[in-house]
């Protein structure tokens, strides 16, 4: 038979063990509660950062789109051009082959006349937003037809030639010389063949003036924020 003293000592040992376990569980509970709290705070901070960057992205594009519409909107109809708001692109369609003859990369007199009217006013709008502009792309586009063995490459050369010749025509304009310093590094010519052809062949034959902004960098910022989490 165990003595009272021995039984008492055993009871005290079990009691101490239970107390120790309770302290461990309490410590773990506090630890995980703090982890949850930190996670909630991190998610809240992440949400705020994404909302801020998204707002800046939308503000930059909206301000530029509104300025283009207000400054050029009525005259675009006269120039037989359209404004693609989502892409910040002014689109000149080679309707009736009036801007370029078939297979030719040389702008017609009609197109040059419209560029004379359009480009100086366009640059004035760009100048007001130059801090947010990373590239102004002159893009040449074609339909998928080609009289030769490799339609894509043939149209690539044609679209690149058209974009390059348009750039060569507009950049030396006396009315934009004062903007050379910031405009020349961001103005590019890009031939895209029929990689972005439209269902209508006539609409596919076009030249676009498309603006890229630092909003794209904002999207990268959002991606990095999400990846960090």
pLDDT at 129: 94
CA distance 161 to 207: 11
Q: Express each pLDDT in 156-201 by its tens digit.
A: 999 999 999 999 999 999 999 999 899 999 999 999 999 999 999 9
pLDDT at 185: 95
Beta bridge partners of 133: 213
CA distance 4 to 26: 33
The CATH fold assigned to 58-221 is: 60s Ribosomal Protein L30; Chain: A; (3.30.1330)
Name the nearest CA neighbour of 207 among 126, 110, 134.
Answer: 110
Asked whether the whole model's pTM tops 0.95, one would answer no
pLDDT at 162: 98
The SS3 of residue 136 is strand
CA distance 166 to 189: 8
Q: Express each pLDDT in 44-89 by its tens digit.
A: 655 555 554 555 566 888 999 999 999 998 899 999 899 999 999 9
The structural domains of the chain, with segments of one domain joined by +, span: 4-51, 58-221
Q: Please state the rounded mean pLDDT for residues 5-28.
A: 65
What is the CB-side half-sphere exposure of residue 87 using CA atoms within 13 A? 11
Q: 3: burial class by Cβ within 10 Å (0-12, 13-18, 19+)?
A: exposed
- How far does Cα 219 stand from its chain's mean position? 7
Q: pLDDT-based confidence at 1, cuts 50/70/90?
A: very low
């Amino acid at each position: 038979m165990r003595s009272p003293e021995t039984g008492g000592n055993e009871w005290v040992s079990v009691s101490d063990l239970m107390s120790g376990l309770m302290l461990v569980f309490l410590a773990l509970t506090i630890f995980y509660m703090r982890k949850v709290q930190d996670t909630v705070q991190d998610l809240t901070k992440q949400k705020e950062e994404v909302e801020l960057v998204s707002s800046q992205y939308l503000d930059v594009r909206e301000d530029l789109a509104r300025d283009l519409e207000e400054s050029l909107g009525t005259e675009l109809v006269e120039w037989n051009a359209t404004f693609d708001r989502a892409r910040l692109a002014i689109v000149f369609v080679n309707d009736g082959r009036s801007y370029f003859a078939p297979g030719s990369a040389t702008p017609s007199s009609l197109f040059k006349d419209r560029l004379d009217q359009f480009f100086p006013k366009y640059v004035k709008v760009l100048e007001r937003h130059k801090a947010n502009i990373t590239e102004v792309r002159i893009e040449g586009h074609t339909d998928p037809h080609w009289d030769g063995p490799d339609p894509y490459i043939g149209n690539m050369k044609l679209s690149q030639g058209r974009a390059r010749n348009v750039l060569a025509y507009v950049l030396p304009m006396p009315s934009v010389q004062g903007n050379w310093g910031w405009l020349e590094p961001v103005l590019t010519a890009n031939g895209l063949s029929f990689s972005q052809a439209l269902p209508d062949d006539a609409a596919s034959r076009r030249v676009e003036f498309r603006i890229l902004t630092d909003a794209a960098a904002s999207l990268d910022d959002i991606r990095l924020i999400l990846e960090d989490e």
